[in-house]
Structure 1
Amino acid sequence: MRIKTIGVEAFLNDYEHEARLDIAQSTIASLTMGEILELDGQGGSTFYDQLNREKMNYGWIEGSAEFKQEVAKLYKSVDPDNVLQMNGGTGANLNAIMALVEPGDHVVAEYPTYQPLYDLPEALGAEVDHWVIHEEDGWQPRIDELKKLVRPDTKLICINNASNPLGAVITTEAMEEIVEIARSVDAWVLCDEVFFPLEEPEKCTSIVDLYDKGVCTNSVSKDYSVPAARCGWTVSNKELADRMRVLRDYTMICSGVFNDALATYVLRNRERVIERNLKIIRTNREIVNEWMAGERRASWIPPKGVSVSYMRLDIPVDDESFCLDLLRDTGVLLVPGSRFDLPRGARLGYCAPEATLREGLSTLSAYMHEKFD
C-alpha cells in the first residue's frame, strides 16, 4: 500500500520542539497532571484508588466497561458494547476506514480537511471524489454538490465535524441532509468528531444519533485536553464494530491499563473540563478577534466552540517558507496552510495558554510588518 505523508503531522514532528511560542496546536491548552488530579475535587484520590487496584497487564482489550459506559453517555442511545477504544482519534479513523473501504469502492470525502479522511481511502484503492468546501460560504458544505458527487455505488462519505483546521461546524439540520443523501444509496457515513463543538452543542448531533450506518470517531485529546492519554474511540452499529474488533488485533491490541484509567477518569469528570475549556475558547477567541481587527495582514472566520482555526495571511511569499522563517527568527510556531492544501494561510492554535497566544500574535505582527511593509 502506498500512503502519503500526513502534511501537518510531518511538519509538527520536525519543528514543534524548536518552538518558543507554540500557537500551532489544536488541543485546548493541555492539562497538567496536577490539574487533572484536581478534577474530582479529592486531589485525584478517585483516580489513584482505581489505578492502585489494577494489575499492569494488557487490561481490557476493547476498553474497560467503565470507559465504554462513560463514552456511551456522550450520545443519545448507544450500546456500550459497540464502543471500541482506539489509539487516539488517528487510530479510530484508521480502523474505521480499513473496515469499510476495499479496492474499487467509491468514496466521497470532505475537502480540504484532516488529510487521512481522504488519503486513507485512496491508499486502500478506493476512487475518492472531493466534496470541496469554500471560504466564501464560511467553509460550510454545499449539500447540492454532495448530491451530484454521490453515486448508486458510493460506499462511504467522510466528513469532519468540526473541521480541522477550519473550525467550521456542521449543524444538525445539515447533518440530517447528509444522512438523507447517504441513505438514498445505502452508503456509510464516517464523521471525525474529535473537535465536536463545546459551545452550543444543542445545535449539533453526532452522526451515530442520526444514522444506523454512521460511525463516529473521537478522543480525549482535543475537547478534553489530554492528548497524552492517546485514548480514542469509535461508535458504530454492531456490524461495523465486529469488523473493527478483528482489525484492532492487528493494529493495536489495547490502549493499556493506565491510559484507560486516565481517559475514564477524565470523561467521568468531563463537566469540569468542559467548563474550563469553554472559558479558554471564549477568552482566546476574543483576543484573536481584537488582534485581527488591527492586523491588516491576517483574517479569519471565527470558529464556533471548537479549538482549531485557520487564518489567511496577506504575505508575498509561500506560507511554508514564511512559517519556517518565522520559527527560525522568532520562535513562533504556526502550521502552514499548505500542509492542509490551504495555501497562503496557517492553522492557528488559538486555544494555547493565554500568555503564549498574546505574545505569539504580537510577535507575528511585528515580524510580518518588519518583513513586508
Structure 2
Amino acid sequence: MRKLPKAALEHWMREFYFDTPIDLGSSGVYTYSFRDLRKLAGVSDTDLDNIVFDDSPTRGCLALRQAIADQFGDGDPDRVMTANGSNEVLYHIMSSCLSPGDEVIVLDPCYHALCTVAESLGCNIRRWHLDPSAGFKPRFEDLNALIGRDTKMVVVNFPHNPTGASITAEQQQSLLDIVSAVGAYLVWDAAFNDLIEDGPLPNPALNYEKAISVGTLSKCYGLPGLRLGWCFAPPEVIRRAVELRDYTTLYVSPLVEAIGAKVIVTAPTLAAERRRVALSNRSILDSWLKENADNFKWPETFGGVTCFASLKGIEDTERFCRSLAKEHGVMLVPGLCFGHPDLIRLGFGCTEAELVAGLHRISAHMAEAYL
C-alpha cells in the first residue's frame, strides 16, 4: 500500500471545528445528548449496569447486528458487520476487496474515504464528474462511458457529500443495472439516506448480490461521537474484512454496542426530528440565498444538509473561510477539501438559531471585506 494522502477535510476540521463558535460547515444534523438518548431510546440504569467490558465478536455482537438487519435490511444478521464508524468499514472493504491495478469508479467531488484508500492501493481511479452547471445531477450516460468489464468497484454516496445531489428510486435501479451488467462491486454509502426530501432509498444490497451498503449513526441521527458504523455485504466480503480487522481495531466496544442496539430501534424517531429541523432550515437558507443571489450560486438539490456553492469573484475560497472563522466565528469548509477550491461547503443541519446567526455573520463579512 502506498502512503495515504493527507485528508484535507479532517485537517481543516481539526483546525476550526472545535474552536469556532458557529458551525455552518459540517455535513450532518446537530447532535443528541446522552440525556436525550436515554429518554428517546429507553436506555435505563439497568441497561448500563449490565454492560460487561469484555471482548466482543469481530463482526459485532448479535443483538446489535440483528437490530441493524431488522431496521435497515432483510433481518439476516449474518450479512452485517459493525465497526467504529463508517470510515473504518470503508477502509476494510476497500483494503480487502481491491488490488493494485483494479479499476474503481468514484464520484467527483468526493469525500476522501470513498476514494483515497483505493488510490493508496494502486487502483486505477476513474472519476464520475458531477457538473455544477447541471446542478450536480449525476448523468448516467457518463457512467456508461466510464464503466467496462475491467471495472472492479463503483463507489457512490447519495445524497452526495458535499453537493447534496441525490437520485430517485428509478435512477438507483438504473445504477444497479449498469453496475451488475459488468459484475462490479457497488459500494453504496447511505450515510445521508434519511435526509432525502422524498424519503430514503432502498438498500441496494438486498437487490444485487455484489452491492455493499454502508451505514452510520453520524449524519442523519446526530450521534457522530458514538462512532458506530456498519455494512450489509456478501459473506465473502465480510470474511475478508474480518481477517483484516484482526490487525486494526478487532471489534466495537461493548458499551457502544449496547447503546447502539437501543438506538437503532428508535433510529427513525431520531432521524425524523432532525429532518424536520433540516427542512425548516432549508427554507431559511433558500431565502437567504435568493437575497444574496448576486454573490452566491448554489444549484438546487434535494438531499442531505449541505450545499456546495460558489462565491462571486472568489476563485480560492480558503482565505475567505479562514478570515470568516477568525473574524466572525463561523466555520465553513473550503472546496479545496474536495478538490474544488472555487467552492464552499455550507451545512444547514444545525439549530435554527445557529443557522440564522451564522448567515447574518457571513453577510456582514462579505459586505466588509469582499463585495
Residue 113 of structure 1 contacts residue 166 of structure 1 at CA under 8 Å; is this kept in 2? Answer: no
> What is the aligned counterpart of 2:297 among 295, 299, 320?
299
Q: Which amino acid aligns with 1:189?
A: L
In the alignment, the residues of structure 2 paired with residue 128 and residue 354 of structure 1 have an alpha-carbon distance, to the nearest angstrom, of 40
Partner in structure 1 of residue 88 of structure 2: 91
Instruction: Structure 2: give runs of 5+ residues left out of the alignment.
Output: none
Partner in structure 1 of residue 36 of structure 2: 35
Q: Which amino acid aligns with 1:9?
A: E
Q: Which runs of 4 or more aligned residues in structure 1 lie more than 6 Å from their structure 2 counterparts after TM superposition? A: none
Residue 51 of structure 2 contacts residue 258 of structure 2 at CA under 8 Å; is this kept in 1? Answer: no
Partner in structure 1 of residue 27 of structure 2: 26
Partner in structure 2 of residue 5 of structure 1: 6
Partner in structure 1 of residue 116 of structure 2: 119
Q: What is the DSSP-based 3-state SS (H/G/I as helix, E as strand, rest coil) of the residue aligned with 1:168?
A: coil
**When the two structures are aligned, how many residues end up with a matched partner?**
369
1:245 aligns with 2:245: no
- Matched ranges for 1:149-298 at <5 A: 149-200=146-197, 202=199, 204-295=201-292, 296-298=294-296
TM-score norm. by structure 2 comes to: 0.94
Q: What is the DSSP-based 3-state SS (H/G/I as helix, E as strand, rest coil) of the residue aligned with 2:17?
A: helix
In the alignment, the residues of structure 2 paired with residue 325 and residue 135 of structure 1 have an alpha-carbon distance, to the nearest angstrom, of 25
The structural deviation recorded for 1:258 is 1.1
Q: Which amino acid aligns with 2:368?
A: E
Q: What is the DSSP-based 3-state SS (H/G/I as helix, E as strand, rest coil) of the residue aligned with 2:52?
A: coil
Q: What is the DSSP-based 3-state SS (H/G/I as helix, E as strand, rest coil) of the residue aligned with 1:157?
A: strand
Q: Which amino acid aligns with 1:108?
A: I
Q: What is the DSSP-based 3-state SS (H/G/I as helix, E as strand, rest coil) of the residue aligned with 1:321?
A: helix
Residue 171 of structure 1 contacts residue 205 of structure 1 at CA under 8 Å; is this kept in 2? Answer: no
> What is the aligned counterpart of 2:338 among 337, 340, 363?
340
Partner in structure 2 of residue 312 of structure 1: 310
1:369 aligns with 2:367: yes
Q: Which amino acid aligns with 2:328?
A: T
In the alignment, the residues of structure 2 paired with residue 207 and residue 251 of structure 1 have an alpha-carbon distance, to the nearest angstrom, of 28
> What is the aligned counterpart of 1:356 among 339, 354, 357?
354
Instruction: Tell me whether 227-236 or 165-174 shows the greater mean CA deviation.
Output: 165-174
Q: What is the DSSP-based 3-state SS (H/G/I as helix, E as strand, rest coil) of the residue aligned with 1:156?
A: strand
The structural deviation recorded for 1:99 is 1.6
In the alignment, the residues of structure 2 paired with residue 317 and residue 207 of structure 1 have an alpha-carbon distance, to the nearest angstrom, of 38
Give identity over the alignment, percent.
27
1:80 aligns with 2:77: yes
Q: CA RMSD in A?
A: 1.7
1:102 aligns with 2:99: yes
Residue 106 of structure 2 contacts residue 125 of structure 2 at CA under 8 Å; is this kept in 1? Answer: yes
In the superposition, relative to structure 1, how do residues 202 and 25 fare at CA in structure 2: closer, same or farther (>3 Å)?
Answer: closer
1:32-61 CA deviation, whole Å, 9 max, x = no partner? 121111204x5x42xx32221121122343
Residue 23 of structure 2 contacts residue 332 of structure 2 at CA under 8 Å; is this kept in 1? Answer: yes
The structural deviation recorded for 1:210 is 2.5
Q: What is the DSSP-based 3-state SS (H/G/I as helix, E as strand, rest coil) of the residue aligned with 1:120?
A: helix
Partner in structure 2 of residue 145 of structure 1: 142
TM-score norm. by structure 1 comes to: 0.94
The structural deviation recorded for 1:345 is 2.1
